Structure 1
């Protein structure tokens, strides 16, 4: 049933916050813009880097392994950026909603897993039974292996932030009055949308173009959802390789490949599984955006959510631009400028 409220604008803002669209609320955008000023970000960045360097040097000294220092440094800096985004940039509700959207129904995950995982395992299995892969991965130190994993993660995230804006831009294309009424059905602005379409005044469809922080909000939703799905599949690959390797990597094979008389669940097997699972995550990240079959499986339902968000936002902005009761002519407030 439609959600009704005496004030559709306030109800729309509450709907935004509940659905992880925090940057759609003007007050939140102003707070985020303020938190991104250099006078606020630079002190935090300096503290994080100093702590990261100190911890990295300490771990490298204790472990007697130089490569753990840069691995620790990069990890702590990434965690610091993530923490700043969650706490100070109001990204927490965005991440929570995206996680809830991903794990909210196991029935959404199972079809995606059963379709994507077999093809992925087929490709990774041929790499797994490869002497060179074992020789490279098994001889990496812990710090080197972690740096390789971080490299794959950073490349995957960079690729998502470059390509996912194209998916977001599709959500606000070709929006008309009929589309707005359809996507706003069941939202707090359903009746307001019908009224705006029927009466003369601000055309809500003209506010469909999403820019600035609001566009970034939609990109972040897709990035989180996609990252979680890729992580789940990568973990599935990791578990499969551990089980598969424990069965087929016998002692004669290990002696022939690595010169070690070991078999079963070994440190070498774990390192190779981690290496290939991280690689499979990067491979899947690229495939889900570039391959039409994967894109439909991973983004089909989410795009409907993005279109609904675009529609509610358009009606919300049209309501804010509508003249207040008793105000006409020169007193008509101007539409709010897009956030940027």
Structure 2
């Protein structure tokens, strides 16, 4: 493998572990928005449907979409001309002008076609939020971290459930007793639909805050443990603050993924348990309507029932379990030791690649500096 190929392999390793900021000369224009450009293009094309109006005829809507395509095309040609490029040039990187185009051009379509100013403003605001999400998810490698974590989901599910049984036996017993409590079902049977999203957002924020409390100290411990396995790391340039934040985001995302795995496992357990045991007779005895939708099916000759209320109760117990597990993550020293060991092993592999990566970059830079000197000496001899 050539030096350049080995450098690219190290950079792929950093990105695979969700640490793109370890790549030298990392650029948001190229490495964040440039990589997300295909996704942003798909979003932009989908937003052309903003020109459609339900009170128009089919032919009028077809013409509106054609007009929207023409507006976007003309706007992009104008952007290339203003930047001194050929009119058909595709962007090599995504800078501020291209980002402004992504925000404003789709918003201009419903404003020009149909004077839909509300749709235009919401489109622009939504695109700004989307760019912020892309900056965080792609810039800090959260998507790659989740992808890497999802690749280990079955192993994590087993180990996380073992931790759950070891740390939270009383919670499991309490949750099962709570599941067969009529008052719990009655509460979630009459909960407004919007409350589901508000409660989900509240508990998700609460779990994130709990996990954030010890994130800095755990990240530093992971770094110290990994650096101890590679003494040559001490000779490298220290990690920058953005790089440290990238590592902390990776550690926190892995920790959050374990909470999600725990919650998903518990939620599926109660959903299956309720499907098998909560019958029409039980719902009638508890005065439960079942929510706004129900689904019946047969299994081995038995009539089973799935209801909206069953789903709500299962998700609620899964969320409570995830919250309790997040608190255990914060307070249980044995869990933290297991988690830090796992993350330190991963970071040790990353540091091994970083040592080699920076050596290759330094060697390549030395070769570039030596090349002009060799040329000058050759010219002098001539």
Q: TM-score, normalised by structure 1?
A: 0.62
Could you say which residue in structure 1 is the equivalent of 2:139?
Answer: 90
SS in 1 for 2:224: coil
Give the CA deviation at 1:224: 2.8
Greater relative CO, 1 or 2 (CA 8 Å, sep 6+):
1
1: CA distance, partners of 2:205 / 2:128 = 12
Deviations 1:158-179 (A, max 9, x none): 3333422221111233777x72
1:232 matches 2:258: no
Could you say which residue in structure 2 is the equivalent of 1:288?
Answer: 329
The gaps in structure 2 that reach 5 residues or longer are 34-94, 107-117, 291-303, 370-382
2: CA distance, partners of 1:41 / 1:161 = 31
Q: 2:315 aligns with which of 267, 274, 299?
A: 274
2: CA distance, partners of 1:40 / 1:272 = 46
SS in 1 for 2:248: helix
1:149 matches 2:200: yes
Give the CA deviation at 1:320: 6.0
Give the CA deviation at 1:180: 0.8
2: CA distance, partners of 1:16 / 1:240 = 36
Could you say which residue in structure 2 is the equivalent of 1:337?
Answer: none
Q: 1:245 aligns with which of 270, 274, 280?
A: 274
Could you say which residue in structure 2 is the equivalent of 1:100?
Answer: 148
Could you say which residue in structure 2 is the equivalent of 1:330?
Answer: none
Give the CA deviation at 1:31: 4.4
Could you say which residue in structure 2 is the equivalent of 1:116?
Answer: 164
SS in 2 for 1:265: strand
Aligned CA-pair RMSD: 4.6
2: CA distance, partners of 1:326 / 1:82 = 39
Give the CA deviation at 1:148: 0.3
| Contact 1:23–1:213 under 8 Å retained in 2 | yes
Deviations 1:92-118 (A, max 9, x none): x55234422442473454233233257
Give the CA deviation at 1:23: 0.6
2: CA distance, partners of 1:207 / 1:175 = 14
1:5 and 1:110, CA in 2 relative to 1: closer, same or farther beyond 3 A?
A: farther
1:45 and 1:161, CA in 2 relative to 1: closer, same or farther beyond 3 A?
A: farther
SS in 2 for 1:28: coil
Q: TM-score, normalised by structure 2?
A: 0.56
The gaps in structure 1 that reach 5 residues or longer are 49-53, 59-74, 182-196, 198-203, 328-340
| Contact 2:10–2:353 under 8 Å retained in 1 | yes
1: CA distance, partners of 2:105 / 2:135 = 12
Give the CA deviation at 1:305: 0.8
Report the structure number with the largest CA radius of gyration: 2
